[in-house]
Amino acid sequence: MRREDLELLNPRDSIEARKRKKKRLKKRAGKKKRVILLILTAVFALFAVKMLTMEYKYYSLNKQKNELTQQISEEKLKSKELNEELNNSDSKSYIEYLAKKYLGLIYPNEKVYVTNEKDKK
């Protein structure tokens, strides 16, 4: 038999033994509550960390989406300009423009004025 059981058999000590037993049970219950509280705190902390990482990922993906959307609109504009240039490539005025700009060609009676680039600034 255990010591507590022997003490319960003694009528004189039965009240004290009951008090000690209740105190021991309260301690065990207090330890269980602390363990449960610790586990709940850990679960909450893990949940909070997971939410923060997901929020950061959402923010970065949204930022990347906006940048890509802007890049797409710029590329569409560039494509439109290139299509216009392609459509104008057969016209006489466009060919004259390219000849003057890149090759420096001029008509025989045409006057050209050359300015110093430093003066413009």
* Each residue's pLDDT tens digit, 8-24: 455 555 667 667 777 77
Cut 0.85: pTM above it: no
Q: Could you give the 3-state DSSP secondary structure of residue 64? A: helix
**CB-based contact 1:7 (threshold 8 Å):** no
State the DSSP code for 101: I
**CB-based contact 35:26 (threshold 8 Å):** no
- The 10s digit of each residue's pLDDT in 55-71 is 999 999 999 999 999 99
